Protein backbone atom coordinates (compact mmCIF):
# COMPACT_ATOMS: atom_id res chain seq x y z
CA UNK A 1 0.00 0.00 0.00
CA UNK A 2 1.55 3.35 -0.98
CA UNK A 3 2.33 5.85 1.76
CA UNK A 4 -0.26 8.63 2.01
CA UNK A 5 0.55 12.11 3.31
CA UNK A 6 -2.70 13.65 4.69
CA UNK A 7 -3.60 17.26 4.03
CA UNK A 8 -3.03 19.51 7.09
CA UNK A 9 -6.28 20.57 8.80
CA UNK A 10 -5.65 24.21 8.04
CA UNK A 11 -5.55 23.47 4.32
CA UNK A 12 -8.53 21.20 4.16
CA UNK A 13 -11.22 22.41 1.81
CA UNK A 14 -14.81 21.50 2.49
CA UNK A 15 -16.65 23.46 -0.18
CA UNK A 16 -18.96 21.59 -2.52
CA UNK A 17 -16.69 22.27 -5.50
CA UNK A 18 -13.64 20.86 -3.76
CA UNK A 19 -12.35 17.37 -4.42
CA UNK A 20 -9.21 17.14 -2.29
CA UNK A 21 -10.33 16.93 1.33
CA UNK A 22 -8.55 15.31 4.24
CA UNK A 23 -10.16 13.27 6.97
CA UNK A 24 -10.00 16.31 9.24
CA UNK A 25 -12.27 18.21 6.89
CA UNK A 26 -15.43 16.27 7.75
CA UNK A 27 -18.71 18.06 7.52
CA UNK A 28 -19.97 19.14 10.94
CA UNK A 29 -22.46 16.70 12.37
CA UNK A 30 -21.43 13.91 10.04
CA UNK A 31 -21.15 10.62 11.91
CA UNK A 32 -18.20 8.34 11.26
CA UNK A 33 -19.07 5.74 8.62
CA UNK A 34 -19.89 2.26 9.79
CA UNK A 35 -17.21 -0.15 8.65
CA UNK A 36 -18.56 -3.11 6.70
CA UNK A 37 -17.18 -5.57 4.15
CA UNK A 38 -16.86 -4.38 0.59
CA UNK A 39 -19.56 -5.42 -1.87
CA UNK A 40 -17.10 -6.18 -4.67
CA UNK A 41 -13.93 -8.21 -4.21
CA UNK A 42 -10.68 -6.85 -5.70
CA UNK A 43 -11.08 -9.18 -8.69
CA UNK A 44 -14.50 -7.66 -9.39
CA UNK A 45 -16.52 -10.64 -8.21
CA UNK A 46 -19.49 -10.23 -5.89
CA UNK A 47 -18.99 -10.41 -2.13
CA UNK A 48 -22.71 -10.69 -1.37
CA UNK A 49 -24.24 -13.77 0.24
CA UNK A 50 -27.42 -15.20 -1.26
CA UNK A 51 -30.18 -16.20 1.13
CA UNK A 52 -33.40 -18.03 0.41
CA UNK A 53 -32.02 -20.09 -2.48
CA UNK A 54 -32.15 -23.85 -2.47
CA UNK A 55 -28.74 -25.28 -1.77
CA UNK A 56 -27.24 -26.52 -5.02
CA UNK A 57 -24.70 -29.30 -4.91
CA UNK A 58 -22.13 -30.49 -7.39
CA UNK A 59 -24.63 -32.66 -9.24
CA UNK A 60 -26.96 -29.70 -9.88
CA UNK A 61 -24.32 -27.72 -11.78
CA UNK A 62 -21.40 -30.11 -12.12
CA UNK A 63 -20.10 -28.75 -15.43
CA UNK A 64 -19.78 -25.23 -14.02
CA UNK A 65 -18.08 -26.51 -10.88
CA UNK A 66 -15.58 -28.60 -12.84
CA UNK A 67 -14.68 -25.60 -15.00
CA UNK A 68 -14.27 -23.14 -12.13
CA UNK A 69 -12.69 -25.30 -9.43
CA UNK A 70 -8.92 -24.99 -8.94
CA UNK A 71 -6.58 -27.35 -10.79
CA UNK A 72 -5.74 -29.37 -7.63
CA UNK A 73 -9.46 -29.65 -6.87
CA UNK A 74 -10.21 -30.66 -10.46
CA UNK A 75 -7.64 -33.48 -10.49
CA UNK A 76 -8.80 -34.59 -7.04
CA UNK A 77 -12.37 -34.96 -8.37
CA UNK A 78 -11.22 -36.84 -11.48
CA UNK A 79 -9.00 -39.16 -9.43
CA UNK A 80 -11.76 -39.76 -6.91
CA UNK A 81 -14.30 -40.65 -9.61
CA UNK A 82 -11.78 -42.93 -11.32
CA UNK A 83 -10.98 -44.85 -8.13
CA UNK A 84 -14.65 -45.04 -7.16
CA UNK A 85 -15.68 -46.44 -10.55
CA UNK A 86 -12.96 -49.09 -10.46
CA UNK A 87 -13.90 -50.03 -6.90
CA UNK A 88 -17.58 -50.45 -7.86
CA UNK A 89 -16.73 -52.66 -10.83
CA UNK A 90 -14.33 -54.67 -8.66
CA UNK A 91 -17.17 -55.33 -6.21
CA UNK A 92 -19.39 -56.34 -9.13
CA UNK A 93 -16.80 -58.89 -10.28
CA UNK A 94 -16.51 -60.27 -6.76
CA UNK A 95 -20.31 -60.55 -6.52
CA UNK A 96 -20.31 -62.81 -9.59
CA UNK A 97 -17.99 -65.30 -7.95
CA UNK A 98 -14.76 -66.70 -9.37
CA UNK A 99 -14.98 -65.10 -12.83
CA UNK A 100 -11.39 -63.82 -13.16
CA UNK A 101 -8.84 -66.38 -14.20
CA UNK A 102 -5.59 -66.47 -12.16
CA UNK A 103 -7.09 -64.12 -9.54
CA UNK A 104 -7.05 -65.11 -5.91
CA UNK A 105 -10.54 -66.14 -4.76
CA UNK A 106 -12.33 -63.27 -3.04
CA UNK A 107 -9.38 -60.89 -3.53
CA UNK A 108 -10.60 -57.32 -3.86
CA UNK A 109 -7.10 -56.22 -4.84
CA UNK A 110 -6.97 -58.56 -7.84
CA UNK A 111 -10.49 -57.57 -8.88
CA UNK A 112 -9.63 -53.88 -8.56
CA UNK A 113 -6.53 -54.08 -10.73
CA UNK A 114 -8.42 -56.22 -13.23
CA UNK A 115 -10.99 -53.42 -13.37
CA UNK A 116 -8.20 -50.88 -13.95
CA UNK A 117 -6.88 -52.92 -16.88
CA UNK A 118 -10.37 -53.19 -18.33
CA UNK A 119 -11.33 -49.53 -17.94
CA UNK A 120 -8.01 -48.33 -19.35
CA UNK A 121 -8.28 -50.85 -22.26
CA UNK A 122 -4.59 -51.67 -21.85
CA UNK A 123 -5.03 -55.39 -22.52
CA UNK A 124 -4.81 -58.32 -20.15
CA UNK A 125 -1.70 -60.07 -18.98
CA UNK A 126 -2.29 -62.64 -16.28
CA UNK A 127 -5.88 -61.79 -15.31
CA UNK A 128 -8.56 -62.85 -17.84
CA UNK A 129 -12.39 -62.75 -17.59
CA UNK A 130 -14.19 -66.10 -17.56
CA UNK A 131 -17.75 -66.71 -18.72
CA UNK A 132 -20.45 -64.59 -20.37
CA UNK A 133 -21.37 -62.69 -17.19
CA UNK A 134 -17.82 -61.47 -16.61
CA UNK A 135 -17.39 -60.58 -20.29
CA UNK A 136 -20.65 -58.63 -20.21
CA UNK A 137 -19.36 -56.60 -17.29
CA UNK A 138 -16.05 -56.13 -19.11
CA UNK A 139 -17.92 -54.78 -22.14
CA UNK A 140 -19.90 -52.35 -20.00
CA UNK A 141 -16.82 -51.19 -18.11
CA UNK A 142 -14.82 -50.68 -21.31
CA UNK A 143 -17.63 -48.49 -22.63
CA UNK A 144 -17.72 -46.49 -19.39
CA UNK A 145 -13.94 -46.12 -19.54
CA UNK A 146 -13.99 -44.70 -23.07
CA UNK A 147 -16.80 -42.31 -22.21
CA UNK A 148 -15.07 -41.23 -19.01
CA UNK A 149 -11.81 -40.61 -20.86
CA UNK A 150 -13.63 -38.51 -23.46
CA UNK A 151 -15.38 -36.43 -20.78
CA UNK A 152 -12.17 -35.89 -18.78
CA UNK A 153 -10.20 -34.93 -21.89
CA UNK A 154 -12.95 -32.50 -22.93
CA UNK A 155 -12.98 -30.86 -19.51
CA UNK A 156 -9.20 -30.46 -19.51
CA UNK A 157 -9.34 -28.99 -23.01
CA UNK A 158 -12.12 -26.59 -22.00
CA UNK A 159 -10.13 -25.42 -18.97
CA UNK A 160 -6.91 -24.96 -20.95
CA UNK A 161 -8.55 -23.11 -23.83
CA UNK A 162 -10.22 -20.47 -21.67
CA UNK A 163 -8.17 -17.37 -22.54
CA UNK A 164 -7.03 -14.98 -19.84
CA UNK A 165 -6.34 -11.32 -20.47
CA UNK A 166 -3.03 -11.11 -18.61
CA UNK A 167 -3.78 -7.53 -17.54
CA UNK A 168 -2.29 -5.98 -14.41
CA UNK A 169 -4.30 -3.34 -12.54
CA UNK A 170 -2.74 -0.73 -10.27
CA UNK A 171 -3.21 -1.47 -6.59
CA UNK A 172 -4.78 1.95 -5.99
CA UNK A 173 -6.36 4.83 -7.85
CA UNK A 174 -5.36 8.46 -7.54
CA UNK A 175 -7.15 11.79 -7.79
CA UNK A 176 -4.84 14.53 -9.01
CA UNK A 177 -4.84 17.67 -11.11
CA UNK A 178 -4.54 17.06 -14.87
CA UNK A 179 -4.94 19.84 -17.42
CA UNK A 180 -6.52 22.07 -14.80
CA UNK A 181 -9.13 19.56 -13.62
CA UNK A 182 -9.18 17.07 -10.76
CA UNK A 183 -8.93 13.71 -12.47
CA UNK A 184 -9.45 10.17 -11.23
CA UNK A 185 -6.70 7.90 -12.57
CA UNK A 186 -5.80 4.23 -12.54
CA UNK A 187 -3.57 2.29 -14.85
CA UNK A 188 -3.37 -1.06 -16.57
CA UNK A 189 -0.43 -3.01 -18.00
CA UNK A 190 -0.24 -5.81 -20.54
CA UNK A 191 1.77 -8.61 -18.94
CA UNK A 192 2.28 -10.50 -22.20
CA UNK A 193 4.43 -9.75 -25.23
CA UNK A 194 1.49 -10.24 -27.58
CA UNK A 195 -0.78 -7.28 -28.20
CA UNK A 196 -4.45 -6.91 -27.33
CA UNK A 197 -6.35 -5.46 -30.26
CA UNK A 198 -9.36 -3.13 -30.02
CA UNK A 199 -9.21 -2.83 -26.24
CA UNK A 200 -12.04 -1.13 -24.38
CA UNK A 201 -12.34 -0.01 -20.75
CA UNK A 202 -15.52 0.72 -18.83
CA UNK A 203 -15.39 2.46 -15.44
CA UNK A 204 -18.37 2.32 -13.08
CA UNK A 205 -19.02 3.99 -9.73
CA UNK A 206 -21.12 1.84 -7.40
CA UNK A 207 -22.55 3.50 -4.31
CA UNK A 208 -25.50 3.46 -1.93
CA UNK A 209 -28.12 6.13 -2.49
CA UNK A 210 -31.48 7.03 -1.00
CA UNK A 211 -34.41 7.64 -3.32
CA UNK A 212 -37.01 10.38 -2.86
CA UNK A 213 -39.22 7.79 -1.18
CA UNK A 214 -36.50 7.00 1.36
CA UNK A 215 -35.52 3.69 -0.21
CA UNK A 216 -31.87 2.66 0.12
CA UNK A 217 -30.45 1.04 -3.02
CA UNK A 218 -27.18 0.52 -4.89
CA UNK A 219 -26.78 2.63 -8.01
CA UNK A 220 -24.30 2.14 -10.85
CA UNK A 221 -22.93 5.32 -12.45
CA UNK A 222 -20.99 5.13 -15.72
CA UNK A 223 -17.94 7.39 -15.54
CA UNK A 224 -16.94 9.17 -18.73
CA UNK A 225 -13.29 8.56 -19.67
CA UNK A 226 -10.98 10.77 -21.66
CA UNK A 227 -10.10 7.68 -23.71
CA UNK A 228 -12.01 4.43 -23.34
CA UNK A 229 -10.72 2.70 -26.49
CA UNK A 230 -7.22 1.69 -27.54
CA UNK A 231 -6.65 0.15 -30.98
CA UNK A 232 -3.48 -1.58 -29.75
CA UNK A 233 -2.80 -2.28 -26.06
CA UNK A 234 0.78 -3.48 -25.74
CA UNK A 235 2.36 -1.70 -22.76
CA UNK A 236 0.49 0.36 -20.16
CA UNK A 237 -2.66 2.45 -20.20
CA UNK A 238 -3.62 5.21 -17.76
CA UNK A 239 -7.39 5.44 -17.39
CA UNK A 240 -8.56 8.99 -16.65
CA UNK A 241 -11.93 10.35 -15.61
CA UNK A 242 -12.15 14.17 -15.33
CA UNK A 243 -14.15 15.22 -12.27
CA UNK A 244 -16.17 18.14 -13.58
CA UNK A 245 -19.76 19.22 -12.92
CA UNK A 246 -20.97 16.40 -15.20
CA UNK A 247 -19.21 13.73 -13.13
CA UNK A 248 -21.03 11.71 -10.43
CA UNK A 249 -17.89 12.30 -8.34
CA UNK A 250 -18.21 16.08 -8.52
CA UNK A 251 -18.05 17.55 -5.03
CA UNK A 252 -17.45 14.18 -3.40
CA UNK A 253 -14.85 13.77 -0.68
CA UNK A 254 -13.15 10.81 0.92
CA UNK A 255 -15.67 11.02 3.78
CA UNK A 256 -18.79 11.17 1.61
CA UNK A 257 -17.55 8.24 -0.45
CA UNK A 258 -17.07 6.21 2.71
CA UNK A 259 -20.56 7.09 3.94
CA UNK A 260 -22.10 5.95 0.66
CA UNK A 261 -19.88 2.83 0.65
CA UNK A 262 -18.68 3.73 -2.83
CA UNK A 263 -16.62 1.37 -4.95
CA UNK A 264 -15.11 1.58 -8.42
CA UNK A 265 -15.42 -1.25 -10.92
CA UNK A 266 -13.12 -1.41 -13.96
CA UNK A 267 -14.11 -3.67 -16.87
CA UNK A 268 -11.60 -4.46 -19.63
CA UNK A 269 -12.28 -6.24 -22.93
CA UNK A 270 -10.15 -6.80 -26.01
CA UNK A 271 -9.13 -9.25 -28.72
CA UNK A 272 -5.93 -11.15 -27.89
CA UNK A 273 -3.83 -11.79 -30.98
CA UNK A 274 -2.25 -14.98 -29.58
CA UNK A 275 -5.56 -16.63 -28.63
CA UNK A 276 -7.51 -15.09 -31.54
CA UNK A 277 -10.32 -14.68 -29.01
CA UNK A 278 -11.85 -11.92 -26.93
CA UNK A 279 -10.45 -11.63 -23.41
CA UNK A 280 -11.96 -9.99 -20.35
CA UNK A 281 -10.58 -8.66 -17.07
CA UNK A 282 -12.06 -6.71 -14.18
CA UNK A 283 -10.94 -5.13 -10.96
CA UNK A 284 -12.67 -3.32 -8.10
CA UNK A 285 -11.40 -0.55 -5.84
CA UNK A 286 -12.87 0.44 -2.51
CA UNK A 287 -13.11 4.12 -1.55
CA UNK A 288 -10.14 3.58 0.78
CA UNK A 289 -8.00 2.68 -2.23
CA UNK A 290 -8.35 6.18 -3.70
CA UNK A 291 -5.24 8.28 -2.99
CA UNK A 292 -6.25 11.94 -2.96
CA UNK A 293 -3.56 14.24 -4.31
CA UNK A 294 -1.22 11.44 -5.36
CA UNK A 295 0.16 10.68 -8.79
CA UNK A 296 1.58 7.59 -10.44
CA UNK A 297 5.33 7.24 -10.83
CA UNK A 298 6.52 7.07 -14.44
CA UNK A 299 7.09 3.44 -15.43
CA UNK A 300 8.80 4.08 -18.75
CA UNK A 301 12.58 4.12 -18.98
CA UNK A 302 15.22 4.07 -21.70
CA UNK A 303 17.61 1.16 -22.17
CA UNK A 304 21.30 1.67 -23.02
CA UNK A 305 20.59 0.78 -26.64
CA UNK A 306 17.96 3.52 -26.85
CA UNK A 307 14.88 1.32 -26.70
CA UNK A 308 11.94 2.22 -24.48
CA UNK A 309 11.17 -0.17 -21.64
CA UNK A 310 8.27 -0.67 -19.23
CA UNK A 311 9.48 -0.97 -15.63
CA UNK A 312 6.76 -2.91 -13.82
CA UNK A 313 8.65 -2.70 -10.51
CA UNK A 314 7.35 0.88 -10.26
CA UNK A 315 3.86 0.11 -11.52
CA UNK A 316 2.14 0.46 -8.14
CA UNK A 317 4.28 3.32 -6.81
CA UNK A 318 2.53 6.61 -6.06
CA UNK A 319 4.21 9.95 -5.41
CA UNK A 320 2.68 12.80 -3.40
Q: Pairing state of beta strands 216-223 and 308-310?
A: unpaired
Q: Pairing state of beta strands 300-302 and 100-101?
A: unpaired
Q: What sign has the CA pseudo-torsion 3, 6, 7, 8?
A: negative
Q: Which of 43, 39, 38 is closest to 68 using CA atoms?
A: 43
The 3-state DSSP class for residue 109 equals helix
The Cα 134–Cα 101 span in angstroms is 11
| Residues contacting 150, CB < 8 A, separation 6+ | none
Q: Is 183 marked within a binding site?
A: no
Say if CB 22 and CB 291 are below 8 A apart. Answer: no
The 3-state DSSP class for residue 42 equals coil
The Cα 243–Cα 241 span in angstroms is 6
Residues annotated within the binding site are 121
Residues annotated within the binding site for Mg(2+) are 121
Amino acid sequence: MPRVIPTPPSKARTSRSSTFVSVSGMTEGMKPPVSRPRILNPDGSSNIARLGLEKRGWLDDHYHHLLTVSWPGFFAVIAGLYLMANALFALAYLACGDVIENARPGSFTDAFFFSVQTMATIGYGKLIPIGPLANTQVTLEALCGMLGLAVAASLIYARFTRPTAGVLFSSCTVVTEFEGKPTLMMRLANLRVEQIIEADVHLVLVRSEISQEGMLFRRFHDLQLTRSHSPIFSLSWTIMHPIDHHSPLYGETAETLRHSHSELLVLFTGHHEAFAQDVHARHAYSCDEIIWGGRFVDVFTTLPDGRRALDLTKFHEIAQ
